[in-house]
Structure 1
Amino acid sequence: MAKVPIKLLIAASGTGGHLFPAIALAEKLPEYKIEWLGVPNRLETQLVPEQYPLNIIAVEGFQQGLSLSSVRILFKLMGSILEVRRILKQGNFQGLFTTGGYIAGPAVIAARSLGLPVVFHESNALPGKVTRFFGPWCSAVAVGFAAASKYLPRAKTVCVGTPVRSQFLDTAVDNALDLPIPNGVPLIVVFGGSQGAVAVNKLVRQSAQAWFDAGAYVVHLTGDNDPDAANLQHPQYIVLPFYDNMAALLRRANLAISRSGAGSLTELAVCGTPAILIPYPFAAEDHQSYNAAVFTDVGAALTFKQSELTPEILQQRVLDLLQSSAELAKMGENAKAIAFPDSADKLAALVREIVER
């Protein structure tokens, strides 16, 4: 008799940082029957592959303080817990995997109320409030950075890194860069994660002429929220809202200028790309600064606070690095040393161990 596949519900919503690791995990569990849990009008409605049925629930994050709005959100939360319980029971799921965010709350509560095992993945060096609160409820919390474990003293933590999309593990993509960049020229790649980074974009545009004069090319991924994205024009400047083949781009880059979201840092590490990091100053609990510190501490990146970084400082630090191939090479080696290229395999093994035991 054919073996009935294990059913796993994945709760991952909102940003690429939550969705890409979950998709990478799902690809490593081909023998499982997987369905997705998301919310309306978020990135999962575009990114989740068609082979994973998408269940939509209505849930919102809490704002600071108690108000009529938060009371309404609380009632919506209670309704979403009941809805997730219904999905889990009717679908005969045997476990839940989540990457955090406000969808994790109702998902974890519903799964644990049914006695189902839960694996939580936390990609940031400083775990979010949801992770710190619900971590002890879970069967295991997989962390992207070893530093995160100290903030989760009551949870069972396992350091597995953060999974990356399969393109980052396929070295054949090195030859797939379809941008007009000559061989041998220095390449600077600027990106702000899946949300873009308007303040970083402005700094780069104010600094770039000196880099062009030094012979460098710049590929600038501005996101789609920058009203001034088309303001700079130059033969050595390629501006795009996004670029699909990030693996090939980061491997070709001599230097990246980036925010320090966990997903971006994971990609930089796997590709061994030296970086200047500018943490997003309004990230929850300043968690991007904690992420950046992991890279700065091992010499894989330089970190600057946005409030202290001027175009003149950025311009000069980039020029200094471009003139020191030895320093860039060492930074790249240090980045690769903290990478987990087999993270998706490690996470899949942990899910199997927890769900199947």
Structure 2
Amino acid sequence: MRILFSGGGSGGHLMPLYSLQRAMKQSDCLYYLPPNDFDRDFANTYKLPHVFFSQTKFYFGSLFLVCKKIRGAFLEVAAEYKRNPWSLVVSTGGYAAVPVCMHAVVNRIPLYLVEPNSVAGKVNSLFAPFAKKVYTHFPYTKKLVWARTLNYGNPLREEIQRLEEPGEALLAFGASLGAQSINLLMSRLVKNELSCPVIWITGAKEYSAYSHLGRPGVTILPFSKEIDSFYRQAKLVIGRAGAGTVAEIQELGIPSILIPYPHHKDRQQFHNAGYLVENGSSIIKTEDELPESIDEILEILAPNSVVYASLLRQAKALPPKNAAQRIAKDIMQVP
């Protein structure tokens, strides 16, 4: 059975697909990707069998031009299918998935969608009624109408496993390029006397502005491919509330302070963070609240903190989802 994986443009689209492929132990597969630098690097790093669209973005230009681009991409998918057909399609959405999902629907190829966020993206919302199943991480995922949903979780790398006990460090990071507001918060926080080690990932763009604040007990990095190791050292995570981050800290059972990205129209990250906040394992802060949050964070990090003990207890109470294995088993059982 050959599987086509579709998505791209960010790690939030590609990593769940890669994790799912590994869980399926599926070597006979193909990734259909947009031809941008991130996707090229990802495909090369993880040695993915892939094909690139000739078009970069389908939604720029007049309506006529957009339709023309999508039609061209659809024909590319059809030609590739004719050369070497696939049995089913798994997609995480995003603009790159439009022609692939269209082709699956038109040709009645089984389509499975993975929606990691609490608010479904436009492409997944559009194709959800035509999918055999839609796998969600959040039990209340919005904008999925007439969809056969299963709340199995966001597929994660097999290295992300529930920790028996948390580490001792504060781990702080933004998105792949960093987050200015989190870096500013950390620059103020590390000037205080801290009761725990700090691992602070600034993002490559802002590393030079903050690297001088490093000292014994305060490790500052531009980026890292060893995030799994840092998770194992963490007692508390400060970060954005992207779907991947929320799923990982839930799976690991680590308390968190989440600062949602404020500029999504649908407030997607606020809804993502809200799930952990409602369950008592996380505290949410807006960017405007950060300057007044230093003392609160220091109190949470202090030895024998009652607030931290409560966050940790609730983080451990949230069960791991083991999503990649559950979704892989469900898909592979269906003819």
Q: Give the TM-score of the pair, scaled to structure 2.
A: 0.91
Structure 2: runs of 5+ lacking an equivalent: none
The residue identity in structure 2 corresponding to 1:164 is: L
- Is structure 2 residue 110 aligned with structure 1 residue 117? yes
- Is structure 2 residue 301 aligned with structure 1 residue 322? yes
Q: Could you tell me how far 1:50 is from its partner in structure 2?
A: 5.5
Map residues 42-121 of structure 1 onto 2, 5 A cutoff.
42-48=37-43, 52-57=48-53, 58-60=55-57, 62=59, 68=62, 71-121=64-114
The residue identity in structure 2 corresponding to 1:26 is: Q
Q: Could you tell me how far 1:45 is from its partner in structure 2?
A: 1.8
- Is structure 2 residue 173 aligned with structure 1 residue 191? yes
Map residues 161-176 of structure 1 onto 2, 5 A cutoff.
161-169=153-161
The 2-side partners of 1:134 and 1:59 are apart by 21
The 1-side partners of 2:245 and 2:14 are apart by 13
Map residues 211-222 of structure 1 onto 2, 5 A cutoff.
213-222=193-202
Aligned to 1:3: none
Aligned to 1:153: 145
Q: Could you tell me how far 1:21 is from its partner in structure 2?
A: 1.0
Aligned to 1:250: 231
The 2-side partners of 1:14 and 1:352 are apart by 26
The 2-side partners of 1:319 and 1:61 are apart by 47
Q: Deviations for 1:310-341, whole angstroms, at most 9, x for unmatched residues?
A: 1xx22112111112444324323423433534
1:35 to 14, 30, 36: 30
The residue identity in structure 1 corresponding to 2:180 is: V
Q: Could you tell me how far 1:166 is from its partner in structure 2?
A: 1.7
Aligned residues: 331
1:10 to 1, 5, 29: 5
Would the aligned equivalents of 1:142 and 1:160 in 2 still touch at CA under 8 Å?
A: yes
Q: Deviations for 1:173-213, whole angstroms, at most 9, x for unmatched residues?
A: x9xxxxxxxxx8x4211011334212211221122211xx1
- Is structure 2 residue 315 aligned with structure 1 residue 335? yes
The 2-side partners of 1:317 and 1:248 are apart by 27
The 2-side partners of 1:283 and 1:298 are apart by 23
Q: Could you tell me how far 1:158 is from its partner in structure 2?
A: 0.7
The 2-side partners of 1:243 and 1:61 are apart by 32
Q: Deviations for 1:20-74, whole angstroms, at most 9, x for unmatched residues?
A: 11111000122551111111124232223665311101241536xxx54x54333
Would the aligned equivalents of 1:9 and 1:95 in 2 still touch at CA under 8 Å?
A: yes
Q: Deviations for 1:281-325, whole angstroms, at most 9, x for unmatched residues?
A: 113521000000001001010001113321xx2211211111244
The 2-side partners of 1:293 and 1:316 are apart by 23
3-state SS, counterpart of residue 51 of structure 2: strand
- Is structure 2 residue 256 aligned with structure 1 residue 264? no
Q: Could you tell me how far 1:249 is from its partner in structure 2?
A: 1.4
The 1-side partners of 2:296 and 2:202 are apart by 21
- Is structure 2 residue 231 aligned with structure 1 residue 235? no
Structure 1: runs of 5+ lacking an equivalent: 1-5, 175-183
3-state SS, counterpart of residue 238 of structure 2: strand
Q: Could you tell me how far 1:224 is from its partner in structure 2?
A: 1.8
The 2-side partners of 1:50 and 1:168 are apart by 17
- Is structure 2 residue 263 aligned with structure 1 residue 282? yes
The 1-side partners of 2:177 and 2:273 are apart by 18
Identity %: 27
The residue identity in structure 1 corresponding to 2:325 is: D
3-state SS, counterpart of residue 152 of structure 1: coil
Q: Could you tell me how far 1:231 is from its partner in structure 2?
A: 4.6
The 1-side partners of 2:285 and 2:29 are apart by 41
The 1-side partners of 2:145 and 2:309 are apart by 37
3-state SS, counterpart of residue 35 of structure 1: strand
